Chains A and B, each alone.
Chain A
Amino acid sequence: MYCDMVTINVMDKIMYGLHRQGRISFYMTNTGEEAVQIGSAAALTLEDTIYAQYREAGVLLHRGQPLAKFMNQCYGNCEDDGKGRQMPVHYGSKELNFMTISSPLTTQLPQAVGAAYAFKLDKKNACVACYFGEGATSEGDAHAAFNFAATLSCPVVFLCRNNGYAISTPVLEQLKGDGIAAKGPAYGINTIRVDGNDVLAMYYATKSAREFCIKQKKPVLIEAMTYRIGHHSTSDDSTVYRSVNEISQWDAHSPLVRFRLYLESLGLWCQKKEQELIDSTKKEIFRAFGEAECKSKPHWKNLFTDVYKEIPDHIRKQMNQMEKHLEEFKEHYPLSSFTHTK
């Protein structure tokens, strides 16, 4: 668990830097929320389907996603499972049972409930875990999901990352009640609030929630209290709306620091091991992104496929139009980096 927390932290720093150099178009870090992600992920199995928002790369990493796949997605190269169609950090993995992320906030919540209902029908010994931020709970879809999950008795774990901010909006402007956890009982949902910077607390809360919801066929809501140490995204400078002092206070007690101290107190970890881990992780990430950067983009025709299962006539016609156009005007398009035929 600790290694994954460090890995996601190191990857974030490097990817953030790559964005600064203009080598990828966008990025969102997970800094400060490593414990929420890894702690909960460790309590779930691969049978459990994940519906995530966008700040849950650690969950995917813990499930076994290779670093190269993260890089491929961010670069949108020919090895990206998503075929380069979405913005960076919109990961997904069929084999790791992690639904592809989409930008519209909270839409995944009622979807997760539907999937959980399917699990109940199929009598699966698994649950659906659905991640979202505290800002997302203000959307109507959150209300829909909580109510459907309760009335239709669905085995879903709602995992709210309450990190204090939705971009620039502090939680006090987001809601007036007692956080997200207070909403659960109003829907008839068993609810717990957890120190989201304590990886072991996250682990045990999620483990119990999972067991409860599979056995009882009922939803559980977990509100993980944490703090978004990084900027919202690479398009955001968070010091405009919050103090550097506030950030550094949280940074000093980050989930990484806390778990490291615990491991050291047990004699399981030391400074030397820490340095070795960071060095080897950096090396691995640099290699992975170097490779990802060199790969060509998918063939431009992938722009037209997968809109439907089969390409309908009108879309095929448009694809042929584009092909003809490119024959005549090829020098005006970046065709050379899109030559891969896959």
Chain B
Amino acid sequence: MMMLSKLSTRLRYVGRKLLLSSGEFSAGPKSHARGTHFKYFPCEKPIVAGETQKLNMYQAINHGLNIALENNPRSVVFGEDVAFGGVFRCTMDLKNRYGANRVFNTPLCEQGIAGFGIGLANAGILAIAEIQFADYIFPAFDQLVNEAAKMRYRSGNMFDCGKLTIRAPCGAVGHGGLYHSQSPEAYFAHTPGLKIVVPRGAMHAKGLLLSCIDEPDPCIIFEPKTLYRIAVEEVPVAHYKIEIGKAEIVRSGDAVTLVGWGTQVHVLLEVADLVQEKLGVSCEVIDLVSILPWDAELVCKSAKKTGRVIVAHEAPMTNGFGAEIAATIQTECFLHLEAPVQRVTGWDCPFPHIFEPFYLPDKWRCFAAVRDSLKY
């Protein structure tokens, strides 16, 4: 271990020297090193009382998995490359602690992972499956949509797979291109029987994961992968849950309602600051948290108060989940609206590599939408 870390320090030093000599580092803005399109807003106070620990999101998820495996001897964690700790380190040390029978690699086959997980859950085992990237969940679409989601219904409640939780890293990461950046929540939101959540940081990731695990219905938790290391905040050490189906007002305001989830919540918080600074009005920022079922009540209440709503998500616009939200607001809040509900989203294109800065619904596009809404 010692030697390895020394070696890696040395390599980094050498690499840095090389880059500096080629002028790459001093070039500043021209650097190809990853930059983020958002500023992380840590949660100001923990959701429950008690001891906390400063963790990033992958560590918080690791804590959650530890608790799940510790509390229930009939629980397992599996997927591609999870045994050595996972490609994002979320399952680190779990195999050593709980044994190769309970934390194990599967063959490289997403439909198999989902089907296998359903079978485990049928037999009463707590099954926590990982799909390496949300972009690769589509081979499992049939198992999740036709099987997992419909099992309780079609069997008249004789059988279910409520003990199944699927974890999948999602969303933009700066350079993920077409197949390491997708946000496929809307595909699944069209499926009665599934529950879908997206955390916006470390504290939410652990709480939502533990909720998914306890939930008597099959759940998918999409984890914005760009937050794995960036999202550092105080996370309660003990077991705690964040209720599925409930949204959260992250910042109160009275002029415009901004709705988002995952990384986009942080973009919207920065937009709220910009709007305050440049336009002198306050935005209400809502983290939807849960995509299915979603908290229409809280969103509509805010929409009625402000009369203006912007929904923002990374996924493409057409048939994105923003469409569902906009349609519901239109039905429920028609007489309260001062401007059309706007959607600021990824464009209706595949997620591009070098054009990512132009693709994302970043703070400037969101800011422009707020300004237009206020002027309407």
Contacts and interface: CB of A to CB of B under 8 A. Distances in A.
Interface stretch (A81-89, A161-169, A189-197, A323-331): A81-89
A141 B118 CA distance: 13
A310 to B, nearest CB: 8
Contact of A115 (B122, B139, B155, B162): B122
Contact of B115 (A85, A93, A110, A306): A110
Interface in B214-254: 216-217, 245
B286 interface: no
A22 interface: no
Interface in B118-153: 118-125, 127, 139, 142-143, 146-147, 150-153
Contacts of B162: 309
A119 interface: yes
B314 to A, nearest CB: 24
Nearest to A308: B217
A145 B245 contact: no
Nearest to B328: A314
Interface string A264-283: 00000000000000000000
Given A110-B119, A115-B123, A314-B293, A306 B156 contact: yes
B193 interface: yes
Contacts of A104: 142, 146-147
B159 interface: yes
Contacts of B195: 308
Given A112-B119, A144-B111, A152-B104, A118 B216 contact: no
Given A100-B154, A104-B142, A122 B116 contact: no
Interface string B273-307: 00000000000000000000100110000000000
Nearest to B102: A121
B107 A147 contact: yes
A99 B119 CA distance: 10
B66 to A, nearest CB: 19
B46 interface: no
B146 to A, nearest CB: 5
A118 B120 contact: yes
Given A102-B147, A109-B115, A94 B217 contact: no
A51 B112 CA distance: 16
Contacts of B76: 117, 121
Contact of B123 (A90, A102, A110, A118): A118
A140 B107 CA distance: 13
A229 to B, nearest CB: 29
Nearest to B244: A312
Contacts of B146: 102, 104, 107
A113 B119 contact: yes
Contact of B127 (A114, A128, A309): A114
B74 interface: yes
Contacts of A110: 111-112, 114-116, 118-119, 143
Nearest to A313: B293
Contact of B296 (A81, A148, A310, A314): A314
Contact of A83 (B127, B156, B216, B293): B156
A49 interface: yes
Contact of A49 (B123, B150, B193, B216): B123
A94 B111 CA distance: 25
B157 interface: yes
Contacts of B297: 313
Contacts of B118: 110-111, 114
A144 B80 CA distance: 13
Contacts of A93: 158
A102 B119 contact: no
A59 interface: no
A296 B115 CA distance: 36
Contacts of A121: 74, 76, 101-102, 125
A248 interface: no
Nearest to B110: A144
A224 B159 CA distance: 28
Contacts of A144: 107, 109, 111-112, 115-116
B241 to A, nearest CB: 16
A86 B153 CA distance: 9
Contact of A141 (B115, B125, B127, B152): B115
20 contacts: A49-B123, A86-B154, A93-B158, A102-B151, A110-B114, A111-B116, A113-B119, A114-B119, A114-B127, A115-B119, A144-B109, A144-B116, A147-B109, A148-B109, A152-B104, A307-B193, A308-B195, A308-B217, A313-B297, A314-B296
Given A99-B159, A309-B160, 13 more contacts: A85-B154, A86-B154, A114-B119, A114-B123, A114-B127, A116-B119, A117-B120, A118-B122, A122-B74, A144-B109, A144-B115, A307-B153, A307-B192
